[in-house]
Amino acid sequence: MTGTLFYLVGASGAGKDSLLEGVRQRLRPEHYCYVAHRYITRPAAAGGGEPCGPERSGV
């Protein structure tokens, strides 16, 4: 199996989640594109978003 792996990184508030949501909305089954699990690495007490469950978009 071959393909391309993209990493999306950026500062808090840079719009990463917004970009990923836009990608998820535009994917179709024939794209065979998957959006991986989102990991939040800061302590829970620091606040911010809740982790998302694993997603397989476009299928």
Place of tokens 């699990």: 37
- pLDDT value at 59 more than 50: no
Place of tokens 């694993």: 54
Q: What is the pLDDT of residue 43?
A: 77
Read off the pLDDT of residues 1-55 as tens digits, 9 standing for 90 and up.
Answer: 688 888 888 888 899 989 988 988 998 888 888 887 777 777 777 666 554 444 4
Report if residue 59 sits inside a domain.
yes
Report if residue 53 sits inside a domain.
yes
Count of domains for the chain = 1
Q: What is the pLDDT of residue 58?
A: 45
| Contacts of 42 by beta carbon, 8 Å cutoff, 6+ apart | 48
Q: What is the pLDDT of residue 4?
A: 86
Report if residue 43 sits inside a domain.
yes
Show the domain range for 37.
30-59
pLDDT band at 57 (very low <50, low <70, confident <90, very high): very low
CA–CA distance, 58 with 49 (Å, rounded to integer): 24
Report if residue 57 sits inside a domain.
yes
